[in-house]
Amino acid sequence: MLDTVLYTPDVVNAPGNISSGIRLARDTLRDLARRPVRHEREQLLESIQRRDQEQEADYLTKHDWLSEEPFPKLQPSYGEVAREYGLKDARIADPTTLILIDEADRLRMASLEQVRAIFDASEVGIVLIGMPGLEKRLARYAQFYSRIGFVHEFRPLGTTEIRRLLAQRWTPAGVNLPEQPWAEEAIATIIRVTGGNFRLLHRLLTQMERILEINSLRGVTKEAVDAARESLVIGQA
């Protein structure tokens, strides 16, 4: 079940923008939760509409519609089903249980207060993701900081963790790389170049896909990794 929202504030942000941006993301999530009910409703209403049309056509061609009683309404009726599914749709609550706010360093005091208001007004967890130093900055705002449950520092990935990610065929969303096994030299170069930096790993794998596509290569090699590193201008490894 989808229950988590990811929100990234604009560089220049105001409390109203924070509120509307998060509300839009939560509305989108709720809309996704409602789609199965709406799809089921549309299919059922279409079948009822076809049933009623077939009954009407049969009555008009096979019966004396001037002298006979009007044809009976079939159950359930179109209106009854529409009302029933309207109530089902309305009963689907906001499924959001967690809000992830990336680039939280951008939030100023007023915007942080808006985030606090959202937290206080609902039973939704909030995770702030930012660069080192964010905790010290938040500590200056006692009312906000008192609501923080814990702080977790993400450290660089170790060699074993990167190898595990690659062995599990992890790639950034939308990136397609040749299936493993990759050349050992290529894997070692990826580990050396990224130094365990997950964001850099994300960028490097994305650029590797472009390099392979441009050069019509079918396998991941050390040369392809080096070419991707040079095009990203991330320095010598």
Residues 116, 71 share a domain: no
Q: Give domain status of residue 224, yes or no.
A: yes
- Render pLDDT for 71-89 as a digit per residue (tens, 0 to 9): 677 889 888 999 999 999 9
Q: In the prediction, which pLDDT does 153 show? A: 86
| pLDDT at position 91 | 92
pLDDT at residue 66 in the model: 62
216 in a domain, yes or no?
Answer: yes
Cβ atoms of 96 and 26 within 8 Å: the answer is yes
Using alpha carbons only, give the angle 202, 204, 206 rounded to the nearest 5 degrees: 70
Q: What's the rounded Cα separation, in Å, for the pair 115 and 159? A: 37
pLDDT the model gives residue 237: 47
pLDDT at position 123: 85
Q: What is the pLDDT of residue 209?
A: 93
> Within a domain: residue 55?
yes
In a domain, 2, yes or no: no
Mark whether 123 and 194 lie in a shared domain.
no
- Which residues in the chain come in under a pLDDT of 50? 236-237
Q: Domain of 125?
A: 98-145
In a domain, 177, yes or no: yes
User: Rounded distance, CA 103 to CA 185, Å?
Assistant: 34
Q: How many domains does the chain have?
A: 3
CA distances from 44 to 73, 82, 170 (A): 17, 9, 40
